[in-house]
Amino acid sequence: MRCFYAPETEGHDPQFRLTHGTVVRNAERAERAKLLLEGLSRLDLTAETPPEAPRAAYEAVHTPEFVRFLETGWEEWQKLPNAGPEVVPNVFPRGEVTTYPETIIARAGWHMSDTSAPIGAKSWEATRRSADCAVAAANAVIDGAPAAYALCRPPGHHTTADVAGGHCLMNVTAIAAQQLRTAHEHVAVLDIDVHHGNGTQAIFYDRADVLMVSVHAETHDYYPFYTGYAHETGAGAGQGFNLNLPLPRSTTSEAWLAAVDQGLERIKAYAPGALVLSLGLDAHENDPLDGMKVSFDGFAEAGRRIAAAGLPTVIVQEGGYLSPDLPTSLAAFMGGFLGKDPRAA
């Protein structure tokens, strides 16, 4: 399997995070990439550097204003008196808001839904190269590869067309799906990250050409809180093309796999030309974000079942946070998907 990784993404190593009123170290650290690369190595998989994608590939999903904000926001922030080292918004628009703001302080709140995805000096280059990985993997599948993997960080599935959040900058999953649309009339997204893929849902919510299926922890007391409920089924032309499968945070592998199967059945009925898998590994029982209780064997079985769907598949890395178990989680899933035992590699 072709795998893509851009070392420039390590330049994004955010510091700030606000949790329960306390400033703590951000969970989406550059070290994640090293752990994920270790997971690939256990299957003798090596990552190649992706070419630069055209800006149009990003703007096929995101507004030009949002892309420009990511590109220039940190430099503009540094011009503020006593500016901090990262762009962290402190004002957010609410209600009827129609005028795009001029100041960087206001634009930060316009384009960022929370404080968990601070923008540093290297964040634009990192998210751009992360998106390049997603585009390269999609192009590999378009060119005939049965599957390809994009090691993307920062991740993307919480970002809408013009608002970032939840450790995410550009929505790499949506960018991959849109790239696949250049070759396929219908594309499906299966998101198995422990968090609801609210940004991907928002991007495709009123469209019938991209089916969105998300298996995630119930959101009444877990990020992203405001979306991810079963009654969210799409709007307009997209009615019926959004499926949320929320599960209790106590969910173990058997019930989680049953939900994955339910999602795969819906995808089978949709009959897409290709699949994008939002591969979050944070459903693991030892992930520090404490979302679910899925085992290594559960991930391996999910890999087998998703591969058995027989669709050309772009695997986009989403969550999965700092833990000694992260490399094993990736190796278990990819081993199941490829029919290989990582312990024998």
pLDDT > 70 in the chain, percent = 99
CB atoms within 10 A of CB 254: 11
Ordered alpha helix ranges (H), the chain:
31-41, 55-59, 64-77, 104-111, 123-142, 172-180, 198-204, 253-270, 296-308, 326-338
Ordered alpha helix ranges (H), 187-281:
198-204, 253-270
What is the DSSP code (8-state) at residue 319?
-
Q: 158, 184, 195, 196: which is the annotated catalytic residue?
A: 158
pLDDT at 185: 98
Average pLDDT over residues 170-194: 98
Q: Is residue 146 very low, low, confident or very high in pLDDT (cuts 50, 70, 90)?
A: very high
Integer Cα distance of 178 and 314 in angstroms = 12
Q: What are the structural domains, with CATH classification, of the chain?
A: 2-14+24-51+122-344 (3.40.800.20)
pLDDT tops 70 at residue 343: no
Q: What is the pLDDT of residues 262-288, one digit of tens each?
A: 999 999 999 999 999 999 999 999 999
pLDDT at 341: 83
Q: What is the pLDDT of residues 15-28, one digit of tens each?
A: 999 999 999 999 99
pLDDT at 344: 54
pLDDT tops 80 at residue 46: yes
Q: Is 20 a catalytic residue?
A: no
pLDDT tops 70 at residue 345: no
Q: Is residue 300 very low, low, confident or very high in pLDDT (cuts 50, 70, 90)?
A: very high
